[in-house]
Structure 1
Amino acid sequence: MERDIHSHSTTHSVCTNTHDTLPQTAVPADLNPEDASVIRNILANEDFYARLGVDRNATTQQIRRAYLRRSKFSVCLSTAYTTLSEPLNRRQYDLFGRAVDGSEHTFADALQKVFDEFMEGQYDTLMALVDQIQSLNPELHINKEGARFVLSSMREFCLWSGKCWGAAKFELIYLYEIHLDIQALSYFDFKGRLMKTAALSKGLITLMAKMVPAGNLIMEESLPTIERVEMYMFNL
């Protein structure tokens, strides 16, 4: 009995201390008056019945309903935090104005993991998918080494494309701006068109000069042709 009294006293003390440390401005000013009143009532009352807004003779069902009604505030706050604290969820919320659905988030995480492994040169997950396809379609006769070679070639292409884009993106933007300038010129502005065309040619030469060294390889030699892909992927 004394233990129960001591436990209740400790719980009451913890709740009281928690309440004492809460700032008076904890309730946002932009809430509607009814919601603000409910939150103030929850923060101000130490009595559990008062916090839930039920009488002392309330049934268990009434207590449960009262809790569900008032728990919406904590649920909304939790949803806001979990959305904005995750960079991926936050970007989607900023773009589309809604929280990420759990299934979408899980699927996006799985795809991101596979892509990260692929870019790191680890093909275990994708090769497991190839094995699954082969088991479901035995008539394909997929060659594992050929499939791995194709994945490696695709990775090299992605890396090559990334290097080229990083090196040439400013030149591409510059060329696009010149293109817009040419469209804006009068048809009879021969001098202006000649100067812009010369600038466009110079930009194209600069672009080609940057793209080839940036990739450190030539696409025609590094990427397999369709026939080579078929030869490596399938036993033809």
Structure 2
Amino acid sequence: MSKSSPPPDAGPSSSYAMIEKINASNDLYEILGCSKYKSDSKEMRKLFLHRARNVHPDKFPSFPPATSAFQKLSLAFRILSDPASKRLYDASPSTSSGSRTSFPSSFWSHDGGFEGGSSAGDLRAADETLNGVLFQVWTEFIEGDFHMIRVVINAINETNSGLNLGNDTVETLEGALRRLRSLLLGGQKYAGVIRFELIRLYEIQQNLRALRWLDLGGRLRLTLQLTRVVVSIPLQIDKALKDEAETELVAERKRLANPKPPPETTSPSPRRPKEPQTISQGPESWTAPTEPEIAASRAGAGLLNSKLEMTLKMTAAVLESGEGWLGGGGKQETLVN
């Protein structure tokens, strides 16, 4: 299999076609999929997130061209979404290959990726670009459209009294979502856990805004999908935090049970040097944390308390049933252009 060939168990062919198209181009507008004259910052963000969801290397861990495509996509968005760098790019004369003199073709490698040593080609920098956009998406949602989630949860509570979704639960959920914003701001680790859910959240919002007001069935279905995505996000982060705490607890127990021996010191004798002493260490011996200790560790590290965690899981199940009843269970909406 060649380096640029999709693996036999490849996913949707459209994603691989998009990866190939991005890697074959040096024109930033073509890479991002936008028009030079008609695309504003909102349109660029929409196209960037849509393409990032389709080409991100997390979805194609054994397919290197996805990495170079995502890097080129992130670079295109960084340049074109910044007015100053966009003006510089637009003012650069085009070459026959479609690249610009200020962004020469030598910037790209022969297979469409980046030349080694280029900071723009660093995958971490590309992820930081995506995470920055997703942080904006999440902040805008919390400050703007969260009221929709309140309406849906209140409606669910009225028809499913056993869930006990009162105002206190909604307030606690909103507090957890705001804390999640701080976690996303703190670095890439947790953004990677919910990266695709945040893109999905954004796409559902865009589809909702594109619907006609009288399409009540479509609005209800998309609103249920939006609520289920929002409910799933804190559950995933909560699990990641608790798993991390459990792993750290086990590692700490091992470390305490098997401390590193202090460096051996010898006092050389002028008469007869000592033979080197061989210290054989057997297998590590340690006591695993008990179930109550693990439970306490996980409870203290999570984003959600046990009651809210169980409530959100039950709510997600109800929402999924509602989507199935409306004919949209598990259906992935196509982003409206």
Q: Do they superpose with TM above 0.5?
A: no
Q: Report which of the two structures shows the higher radius of gyration computed on alpha carbons.
A: 1
More helix by share: 1
TM-score, normalised to structure 2's length? 0.22
TM-score, normalised to structure 1's length? 0.30
